[in-house]
Each structure stands twice: as C-alpha cells, then as structure tokens.
Amino acid sequence: MKYNFTEIEKKWQKYWEENETFRTPDFNELDKSKPKYYVLDMFPYPSGDGLHVGHPEGYTATDIIARFKRMKGFNVMHPMGWDAFGLQAEQYAIKTGIHPKIRTMECIDRFRQQLKSLGLSYDWKREVSTADEDYFKWTQWIFLKIFNSYYDESKDKAKIISELKIPEGLNEKEKFEFINSHRLAYLAEVPVNWCPELGTVLSNEEVPEQTEKGYTVVRRNMKQWNLRITKYAERLLNDLDELDWPRNIKEIQKNWIGKSEGAAVKFKLVNPENNNESEIEVFTTRPDTIFGATYIILAPEHKLVDELTVGMQKDAVDKYRKEAERKSDLERTELSKSKTGEYTGSYGIHPVTGEKIPVLISDYVLASYGTGAVMGVPGHDERDNEFARKFSLKIFPVVVPENISDSEIIKFIEDTKEGNVCFSGNGISIYSDFLNGLKTSESIDKIIDWLEKEKKGYRSVNYKLRDWLFSRQRFWGEPFPIIHFDDGTFTDVDESELPLTLPDVVSYKSSGTGESPLATIESWVNTTDKRTGRKARRETNTMPQWAGSCWYFLRYLDPGNRNVFCDKEIEKFWMPINLYIGGYEHAVLHLIYARFWYKVLFDLGYVNYKEPINKLFNQGMILGEDGVKMSKSRGNVINPDDVIKEFGADSMRLFEMFMGPLEATKPWSTKGIEGLNRFLNRVWRVIIDEYTGEPGKNITDEEPEENLNKLLHRTIKKVTEDIDDGDMKFNTAISYMMIFVNELYKTDRISKKIIGDFIILLSPFAPHIAEEIWQKLGNTESIQFAAWPEYDPELTKEDMATIIFQVNGKLRAKKDMNYDSDVKTLEDEALDNENVKKYILGKQIIKIITVKNKMVNIVVK
RNA sequence: GCCCGGGUGGCGGAACUGGUAGACGCGCAGGACUUAAAAUCCUGUUGCCUGCAAGGGCAGUAUCGGUUCGAUUCCGAUCCCGGGCACCA
C-alpha cells in the first residue's frame, strides 16, 4: 500500500473531530496541577477569496508548538475564530444586496473547512466570531466600561466615572460637560482623516495602509467618538520593556508613541493695534536654545490667530489659512519642500531677554502636536532655519559643538548667522547669559529650573500618539450603545439592553452625507431612553474593525459565559498569552489597541495582568515562485486547496516550515514541496511494507542498535530544542529528521522502539502520516497522547571528534580522534601528521594552540 | 534624512560562546533498475589550478581595512536590499 495522503488525512481529521482529541477541558474539569500554555494565532478576516498560502505558515508553527506542549504534559489553549466585521462584506452587500451577515457566514464556513483540511489542532468548541451577537454584546459592554471610566492621574489608572470628583457649583449642563470631558470614550469635534472613496473616517494608524492602496485621505472636522489612549502612552511605552517581542515591533510602537521630553515655555504676545495681550505656550525639547529664539510661529489653525492678526495682514492670513485647510496631510508634508507662512503683525515678548520678536503662522507647525505653537530657533533647528532664511528672520547662534577650536568658533558663529550652518546637535551654550559654558544637558536642566522659578514655563513631556478615533460611518460593525437627545446631550444604553443589534435592511450604501447607512433607517434610529422614557435617537456610527479583535483572546478562555466576557479566575489561569503569532502589519494597529483595552480592563479589575501578550512572533511573507508578492494581477497566487490536493496537508505543513526561519520572507517553490512530499514517502516506505500495508520485516522487536540509537537521541535533542527555544527555526529540526531517515535507509533492521520515538518527533509537523504509522505500529490511542521522548545526554555525545590541524591558521590536515582526547595526544598527533610536517619543516615553532575536540594550530616562523 | 533588520553556491537556506564555510532540501550531472519512460535507489556537485589516482594547492561568506594563532561570526568605513519613521519642535 502506497502512501495515500488524501485518504490518510481525511481519516484522521474525522477521527480527531469525532474523538475531540484537541479539546481543552472546561475550567472546572481541568487538571490544574499541570502547567498551562496559551498559543494563539491572529485570527483571520474571512474574506471571499478563501485561505492564502501565507495563512498556514503561522498556523502550522503554532500548531507544532501546541501539539508538542500537549505531549510534554501541558494544558494547552489553542483556539481559532473570526475577525468577522469589515468592509469587504459590506461592499459585497452594496453590490449584491446580500446581507453582510449571510455573506460573512459563508466565508467563515469556507475558511473553517480549509483550516480543518490542514489538520490544525484547534479546540473548535471555543470558536468565536466578532460579528456574533453573543460576542459583540461583550464588545459593546467593554465599550460601556470605557465610556463610564476616567483616568485618575494621581493613581495612574482608570477608575469608574462615579468616583470622579465634580467641582462644586456647576449646573446640570456644566456637570454633563465636565463628566464627558473626563470619560475615556468621548465625543468630540476633531480634525479627522476622511476617506471619500470609502465613505468613512480612519484612525491615524489606519491612514498609511489606505493611502498605500491609492485612496485619498483628507482632513475634515467631524464630531466623532474617541478613546483616550493617550492617557496610557507612558504605560504602553514602559511596559514594552518586559515583553518578549521582536525588536522591530517594539521599535515601531515606541516611535508611534513618540515620547519627547522638554519644556513648555510661556510667551506673552501683544497685538500692536489694540495693545491686547495674550499668552501662549510653546513646547520645545531644546529649552537651552531659548536665547536663540528669534520669532514665534503658530499653526494656521491655532485659536489665537484671529486675535493676533492685524488689519493689514488680515487678507493674507485668511488666504493662507484657507489654503492650509484645503490641503491634505500628505500635500502639506509633500508640497512643503519649501516653507510657506505669513506674518500676523503681532509680536511676542521673549520670556528671558524681554526682546520683541515677530509672530508668524506656518503650516510646518502642526496644530495637533504639542501646543500648536513653537519658538523659532533658526540657528539650531533645520526647519526653523529654512523658514528663517525664506522670511529673512534673524539667525543667532547659541550652541557650539564641543571640541571646537577657538579659531573655528569665530567662523562657526559667522556661518550660523549667515545661515550657512545649522548645528542641531548637543554642545556648549554661548551668548546665553547664565547658561554660558554649560553642556546642553546641563543647560536644559538649568533653564527649566529658572523658568519654573520665574513661573514662565515648566518641565513637560509630549507624545506623538493621538487619541484613538473610534467611530466609522459603516453598517457592518458594532453599533454604539449610546442614544442622543434633542438638547444635544446623550447617555449610554443600559447593560441589560445589550446586545444592541443591527437592523435588517435592504440598502447598505452610505448616506453620502458623512453619516453611516444606519442613519437612514428611521425605525432603528428612533428610540426611547428605557430609564426615563425620553425620546432619543441612536448613535448611528459603528465601531472600527479593531474593536472586536481587542479582546477576542479573552473570550476563547470562557466562550459560553453569559454573565461576564470572561471569568476572572479562568483569565488568571490562562493569561498571559505565551505565544502569539501573526503578521507584522498589525504592529501599531491591533497590537497597540489590544494592549490598551487590556490595560483598561486591568485598571477596572476585570483581568489579572498588566500585559496580555508575553511573547509575540511575526511570520514572514511567502512570495510567489517568481520572488515577488503574490497577487491576482500577477497571476502568481498559490491556492492551498490545490497544494493539499496534489501533495497533501502534511507535505504542505512540512514544506512551509522547511523553507527557512519563520520570520523570513521567502518565495514559494513547487519543486521544494515535491521534495518534502518525497521525504514523507521515504518515511512511509522505510517503515511500511507497500505490499502488506503493515510494518515491514525490517522493523523488529529487538533492542535498538547502538549507532542508530545514538543518532535518534541526537535527533530528539535537536528537534526538541528547535521547537522549544522560541526561535521558530523549524527548518533545522526537519533537516535533522531527514538525516535520520537517510540513515534508516542504510540500516537493515530497525528496532520498533526507535521508529516509535521518531514518529512522535515527526507528529507535530506531519500529524496525519504520524497517526497512521503510529496506529500501524500497534498503538490504539492517538499519537497526541504519547509522551514526548526524552533524550539521554550520554547518548548524544560523539565518540569521535574530527580534529583539524592547522599551520599558521591554515587547514592542513584532519583526523578522527577519540572524543575528549587530551591536549598532549592531540598535539603529538598533529606534529606527527605528514602534511603538517611538510609545512613546519625547517621552521621554528612559536606556539601551539589547541582546542579540545576541535583543532590544533601550530604557529611557525 | 533618521532608526531598525539583512547581504553566504545555480536556488531556499545551515554553521554552538571566534575554531572543518556551504548541513538539509531543490536543481544539475553520472550510474543502477527498466524493452523504454516515470517512480525509486546510489554517487558527485563553491570556483579555479594540479595529479593516472589517493590526493594536493590557491581563492572564497557584498566591498575595503582592522583586531586575532585563527573572523561568515568582533570593530571601523563604504555599497546594495528589505522594513519603519519622516516638518512631532
């Protein structure tokens, strides 16, 4: 009987399903004396295209780990589910009129069937879908918890809103405003990224992805829901340290959070027409350069611009602001290769020198960062420098590089003043009164102390991270459990009313007005407040796709719970996630949002840890055979269904792991997978007699033969370490198994015991064939319940070591010698070697360097 | 421009803490089996030079230089590729 992978795979997939082989027992039935291991895949968005060969790569890796850990005696959590809300199903609905729910179900069924055909050991009883009412009920519930919380800065954690201290003497309206201004979820008129083609707003994190696809994104002020993730900036940054995550992901998150430390400095501003005074704060990371501040510059959107603009400048300023407003962020950054701006006509008072300096506006200053205003230090900031030269503003040097000679200083000062040099590094302060002669770091400390003492500024930290824009103008997403009243106030819907479901409708087209399609469905929108009976309108925006994926890993742990999203005790047992594998495209989206939600839940006492994901690993991309990214237009897409049909799931799994380290980007190769299929055939044939279909005569009950047994133990060592060391380099484990099989072909009689252990090693990689052979060897239980073999360290030692003999570092001879031979023996052998003698003949031996079991190097002159 | 990765045969990739560069697989070449082919099995396979042969020599891990008895591995400079950030004050 030949190796018939199709039949074998079908047989075992059915067996696993019927016997619930991979079921993780419910918490009360779990043997809690065993250690736990939570290994998770980033769940897929079930698109209409079905599975892509990239999916099985990460899934196979986690599956190997899950199967291995089970055999090692762990309680393993290995679930799968669906990120089921999303734009694709909605656009399909617009085209076909088919409800996104129906379409999504179809796609999920297809995905599930495809995943099952790969033999992945998920506990399907724990499957979740973010678009299920039972699931998004809890997404809405968590939103309400966020909505009903504020951030207590003194305790540095979120607290329930009822604990917020409300100032005395506020009227109802003011109280409402005060509370809302502290909620972690808040509604605000903010400049948003509007994408007209998609008919929705996008979060900052989503913009690059969509602009890459060719969509335009423009700035627009809209009233939107936001989550106050910025309150967590410091914790999101600091807690990265303790995570076992890839360096670059940490780096990306760090940059995204973008912490910078410096000072806020107050400037008095005067409008010379009416002598009205106002004050602004600027943020700077280089307060030491304050003596070089020669102008003030505001973002065009800055609140004070109108007040500061003198009559003569009014038209020019208005025109400039209109232009700036029209530009998208992209244009604003791209087109401004050359700086633009306008004078307001007002002047500022330098807080240290008291000098009058001009106030201008320019779009190189961002309204959304810091205070929307900066002090221009053209001597030591490239951007200010460029701007100052364009507007002929004064340039003044206040820092010189360290280790600069006296003669160079004169030239440096001249060059700076003329704008030929702009030194933005750290150095020594000059022309700076009480800072003169101090190093940059000392100057910074000293000037901040001075500013604080004089009440003209203070130490300050800024982050690039913005609050998370949380609403979308879409149909296919979680509705907000919020209702609005005529007077402009709003309130949450009571928890008992959850889930708040989507209506059945016939048209999914967006309203065109910047509102969600839900806004047009009167029967759904109009409602009453169950608490008071007041008439109300439902919030018509829906949550972004990221909402459901922020917490799905918690629902798997306790999927049937009707009282809470996840029992806290169960959470405590299984979390944090031991290993999480997915693509690196989620670096600042899913992975930062999920950390944020988890931290809120932690603050509110619903979960037990600071961070949800202990170890993260990113699988690399699989390219087409032509070495470029797979795409329909290139026609280089490989369909996993075809691959499984032709070579089997085991070959596919094995090949994807053999291609290279998991994180590497590597091209698909049809020839390559043939090789792995050949390997499995070799495994089959060396054990199974093709005529009888049973183990061949070469498989004996004898005790293991010594040399083969030693090789087996080395193989056990290598495979075990490769699976367990966290590097995800399964390619080398597989190559060792190949070496082992090659050796089997040179052996006439093979002990059954050896074969059994080897098949266990193979089973996490190629589970179907392993089960089949395991059964043919006379075992009655699934191989999943076999114990992982232990290796004997004594047996992994070599008896012989190949010693290399070098003369002056060049290889001249080699010889197999007893393992652990002493230095003297090695050196004598080396000096006695014919070829070595040739090279040392007539020369003087200076020294001999010997490394046990490795080499002897004779240095001659 | 700045910050991370990374450059090893014809290809995917191995190489422990500095100690045999190229494991394993693909491809290719040769052989066995076969009437023949496929499949399978065996052998060889970094390049150049040399030898009838066993063998031997030289060069070689992007480039140049350094440290070292010895460098794919450590250090410096340069080039190229991939990713991230990009008026963030």
Q: What is the pLDDT of residues A356-366, one digit of tens each?
A: 999 999 988 98
CA–C1' A641–B31 (A): 38
The residue lying closest to nucleotide B15, measuring its CA against C1', is A732
> What is the band of A778 on the pLDDT scale with cuts at 50, 70, 90?
very high
CA–C1' A477–B16 (A): 52
Secondary element (H or E) of residue A468: strand A468-469
Q: Give me the pLDDT at residue A213, please.
A: 75
Looking across all nucleic acid strands, the nucleotide with the smallest C1' to CA distance from residue A816 is: B20
Q: What average pLDDT score do residues A377-385 get?
A: 92
Residue A731, burial from CB neighbour count under 10 angstroms (0-12, 13-18, 19+): middle
CA–C1' A377–B89 (A): 9
Tell me which CATH homologous superfamily contains domain A662-792.
Answer: Isoleucyl-tRNA Synthetase; Domain 1 (1.10.730.10)
Q: What average pLDDT score do residues A435-453 get?
A: 94
pLDDT tens digits, one per residue of A158-199: 999 999 999 999 998 999 999 999 999 999 888 788 888 888
Helix A752-762, helix A730-744: angle, nearest 10: 160
Q: Is pLDDT above 70 for A789?
A: yes
The residue lying closest to nucleotide B57, measuring its CA against C1', is A812
Distance CA A299, CA A373 (A): 6
Reading the block at residue A570, the tokens are: 């169960």
Name the nearest CA neighbour of A730 among A782, A784, A664. A664
Q: Is pLDDT above 90 for A333?
A: no
Name the nearest CA neighbour of A714 among A735, A700, A699, A683. A735
Are the CB atoms for A72 and A109 separated by under 8 Å? no
Q: Give me the pLDDT at residue A216, please.
A: 78
CA–C1' A660–B8 (A): 14
Q: Give me the pLDDT at residue A826, please.
A: 87
Residues 269-308 of A with CB under 7 A from strand B: 283-286, 299
**CB neighbourhood size of A495 (10 A):** 13
Cα atoms in the 13 Å half-sphere on the side-chain side of A586: 24
Q: Is pLDDT above 70 for A448?
A: yes
Looking across all nucleic acid strands, the nucleotide with the smallest C1' to CA distance from residue A209 is: B84
Looking across all nucleic acid strands, the nucleotide with the smallest C1' to CA distance from residue A667 is: B12
The answer to whether strand B lies under 7 Å from the CB of residue A133 is no
Q: Give me the pLDDT at residue A636, please.
A: 86
Reading the block at residue A182, the tokens are: 């502290």
Least confident of A71-85, A280-294, A313-327: A313-327
Looking across all nucleic acid strands, the nucleotide with the smallest C1' to CA distance from residue A297 is: B89
Q: Is pLDDT above 70 for A334?
A: no
pLDDT tens digits, one per residue of A56-87: 999 999 999 999 999 999 999 999 999 999 88
CA–C1' A254–B2 (A): 15
Cis peptide upstream of residue A612 (ω within 30 degrees of 0): no
CA geometry: angle A157, A158, A162, nearest 5 deg: 135
CA–C1' A796–B17 (A): 20
Beta strands in A594-633 (DSSP E): 616-618, 622-623
Query: Hey, which of A326-335, A669-678, A805-814 has the most confident mean pLDDT?
Result: A669-678
> What is the band of A748 on the pLDDT scale with cuts at 50, 70, 90?
confident
Beta strands in A233-272 (DSSP E): 260-271
Q: Is pLDDT above 90 for A434?
A: yes
Q: Is pLDDT above 80 for A208?
A: no
Are the CB atoms for A264 and A282 separated by under 8 Å? yes
Least confident of A317-331, A580-594, A604-618, A745-759: A317-331
For residue A769, the one-letter residue type is: I
The answer to whether strand B lies under 7 Å from the CB of residue A351 is no
Reading the block at residue A392, the tokens are: 């002929």
**Average pLDDT value over all residues in chain A:** 91
CA–C1' A629–B79 (A): 26
Residues 23-42 of A with CB under 7 A from strand B: none
Looking across all nucleic acid strands, the nucleotide with the smallest C1' to CA distance from residue A676 is: B25
CA–C1' A710–B20 (A): 22
Q: Give me the pLDDT at residue A87, please.
A: 83
Q: Is pLDDT above 90 for A344?
A: yes
The residue lying closest to nucleotide B1, measuring its CA against C1', is A382
The residue lying closest to nucleotide B13, measuring its CA against C1', is A660
Residues 49-68 of A with CB under 7 A from strand B: none
The residue lying closest to nucleotide B86, measuring its CA against C1', is A333
CATH of domain A260-462: 3.90.740.10
CA–C1' A295–B41 (A): 84
Looking across all nucleic acid strands, the nucleotide with the smallest C1' to CA distance from residue A335 is: B87
pLDDT tens digits, one per residue of A133-165: 999 999 999 999 999 999 999 999 999 999 999
**Domain residues of chain A, as ranges?**
5-130+553-623, 141-148+183-228+468-538, 260-462, 662-792, 798-860
> What is the band of A113 on the pLDDT scale with cuts at 50, 70, 90?
very high
Q: Give me the pLDDT at residue A512, please.
A: 63
Name the nearest CA neighbour of A199 among A93, A87, A329, A83. A87
Looking across all nucleic acid strands, the nucleotide with the smallest C1' to CA distance from residue A661 is: B13
- Strand B nucleotides, any atom under 7 Å from protein beta carbons: they are 3-5, 11-16, 19-21, 23-27, 39-42, 55-58, 69-71, 82-89
Residues 355-384 of A with CB under 7 A from strand B: 363-366, 369-370, 372, 374, 377, 381, 383
The residue lying closest to nucleotide B55, measuring its CA against C1', is A835
Instruction: Give the Å distances, CA to CA, from A420 to A342, A376, A404, A618.
Output: 24, 17, 17, 46
> What is the band of A517 on the pLDDT scale with cuts at 50, 70, 90?
confident
Q: Is pLDDT above 90 for A808?
A: no
> Is A18 strand, coil or helix?
helix
Reading the block at residue A632, the tokens are: 């329909």
**CB neighbourhood size of A705 (10 A):** 17
**CB neighbourhood size of A167 (10 A):** 8
Concatenated DSSP letters for A174-224? Answer: HHHHHHHTTBSEEEEEEEEEEETTTTEEE-TTTHHHHHHTT---EEEEEEE
Residues 186-225 of A with CB under 7 A from strand B: 208
Q: Give me the pLDDT at residue A267, please.
A: 96
Are the CB atoms for A173 and A600 separated by under 8 Å? no
**CB neighbourhood size of A276 (10 A):** 12
pLDDT tens digits, one per residue of A530-544: 889 999 999 999 999
Concatenated DSSP letters for A497-541? Answer: G---PPPP-S-----SSSS-GGGG-HHHHEEE-TTT--EEEE---
Instruction: Give the Å distances, CA to CA, from A164 to A142, A146, A209.
Output: 19, 14, 38
Q: Give me the pLDDT at residue A162, please.
A: 94
Q: Is pLDDT above 80 for A786?
A: yes
Q: Which residue has the higher pLDDT, A458 or A335?
A: A458
CATH of domain A798-860: 3.10.20.590
Cis peptide upstream of residue A378 (ω within 30 degrees of 0): no
Q: Is pLDDT above 60 for A806?
A: yes
Are the CB atoms for A682 and A738 separated by under 8 Å? no
Q: Give me the pLDDT at residue A853, please.
A: 86
Residues 668-697 of A with CB under 7 A from strand B: 669, 671-672, 674-676, 678-679, 681-682, 685
What percent of chain A shows pLDDT beyond 70?
98
Q: What average pLDDT score do residues A275-290 get?
A: 94
Looking across all nucleic acid strands, the nucleotide with the smallest C1' to CA distance from residue A2 is: B39
Residues 414-473 of A with CB under 7 A from strand B: 462, 464
> What is the band of A425 on the pLDDT scale with cuts at 50, 70, 90?
confident
Estimate to the nearest angstrom the gap between the alpha carbon of A312 and the chain centroid.
52
CA–C1' A624–B33 (A): 37
> What is the band of A716 on the pLDDT scale with cuts at 50, 70, 90?
very high
Under DSSP, the state recorded for A232 is: G
Distance CA A479, CA A336 (A): 40
The answer to whether strand B lies under 7 Å from the CB of residue A854 is yes
CA–C1' A453–B44 (A): 83
Q: Is pLDDT above 90 for A511?
A: no
Distance CA A13, CA A20 (A): 10
The answer to whether strand B lies under 7 Å from the CB of residue A260 is yes
Residue with tokens 């809120």: A600
The answer to whether strand B lies under 7 Å from the CB of residue A592 is no
Reading the block at residue A598, the tokens are: 């988890």
Q: Is pLDDT above 70 for A11?
A: yes
Distance CA A84, CA A715 (A): 42
Q: Is pLDDT above 60 for A336?
A: no
ipTM over 0.90: yes
HEC sequence for A529-580: CCCCCCEEEECCCECCCHHHHCCHHHHCCCCCCCCCCCCHHHHHHHCCECEE
Looking across all nucleic acid strands, the nucleotide with the smallest C1' to CA distance from residue A681 is: B40
Q: Give me the pLDDT at residue A7, please.
A: 95
pLDDT tens digits, one per residue of A824-847: 888 888 888 888 888 888 788 888
Looking across all nucleic acid strands, the nucleotide with the smallest C1' to CA distance from residue A464 is: B88
CA–C1' A812–B48 (A): 19
The answer to whether strand B lies under 7 Å from the CB of residue A390 is no
CATH of domain A5-130+553-623: 3.40.50.620
CA–C1' A554–B89 (A): 41
The answer to whether strand B lies under 7 Å from the CB of residue A352 is no
